[in-house]
Structure 1
Amino acid sequence: MAGMVLGVGSGVFILALLWVLALFLCLFLSRASGFARVSIILIFILALIVTLILLFLPRDTQTPAPVKEIQIVDTFFIGRYFLVSVLSVIFLGSLFLLLIYHIMEPISTKPLHIR
């Protein structure tokens, strides 16, 4: 299997590069006139066809190589729940303070000047 970068294969980067280049070409040609402006549609369709070919005809096998079984153990379980509870209390306290100081703030009317 090919090398993985950020947990995804090289095909994802090829597709991203293809669509970024297609986007830049469409942006550059959007200021043109005549056939160059209409060619934006052709660039989009070409990028779509290349994307579909790359998606439906992969070079690698669909099943990954077997790996040994890994047992995942969450050692920070209690600490994570403690952090979530502290953040929840802070969030609810912030909402309460927002309610008191911002939403329920009285609005005073300006006096009318009658001449």
Structure 2
Amino acid sequence: MTATILGVGPGVFIIAVIWVVTLLLSVLLCRASGKARFWTAMVFILALITTLILVFFPRVSQTPAPAKEIQIVDTFFIGRYILISVMSVIFLGSIFLVFIYHILEPIYAKRI
């Protein structure tokens, strides 16, 4: 599969460039004098033939290639387990500190 740009393949951009260049050459040649003015038709016909060749003889087949089974590989396996173990130690330490300072806080008797 070829890379797509804005959802279309590179062939669309090639055809667009061909027709932009054809338009520019046609504008320039229409202002020329003498026999150079008639080259406008030749430029148009050349662009038309090139476009038809690109449209009717594509390089890539219309049927997609058989898809390979995607194999998922976890490359951050060790780092993920180190992160989980550090977070577990921090969580257990936090629970211990909550136990000491909030649950086991002494309650003093009030004077009557």
Q: TM-score when scaled to structure 1?
A: 0.55
Larger Rg over CA atoms: 2
Aligned position for 1:6: 6
- Counterpart of 2:93 in structure 1 is none
Counterpart residue identity of residue 30, structure 2: S
Q: Secondary structure at the match of 1:44?
A: helix
Bigger CA drift: 8-17 or 31-40? 31-40
Runs (5+) with no aligned partner, structure 2: 68-112
Q: Match of 1:47, as an amino acid?
A: A
Aligned AA for 1:51? Answer: T
Paired AA for residue 10 in structure 2: S
Q: What SS does the aligned partner of 2:27 have?
A: helix
1:56-100 deviation digits (Å, cap 9, x = unpaired): 110001123467xxxxxxxxxxxxxxxxxxxxxxxxxxxxxxxxx
Partner of residue 51, structure 2: 51
- Cα distance in 2, alignment partners of residues 41 and 6 from structure 1: 32
Gaps of 5+ in 1: 68-115
Whole-angstrom CA distance in 2 between matches of 1:66 and 1:19: 35
Q: TM-score, length-normalised on structure 2?
A: 0.57
2:22 aligned partner: 22
Identity, in percent, stands at: 58
One-letter identity of the residue aligned with 1:55: V
Count of residue pairs brought into register by the alignment: 68
Deviating runs (4+, > 2 A) in structure 1?
Answer: 64-67
Secondary structure of 1:25's aligned partner? helix
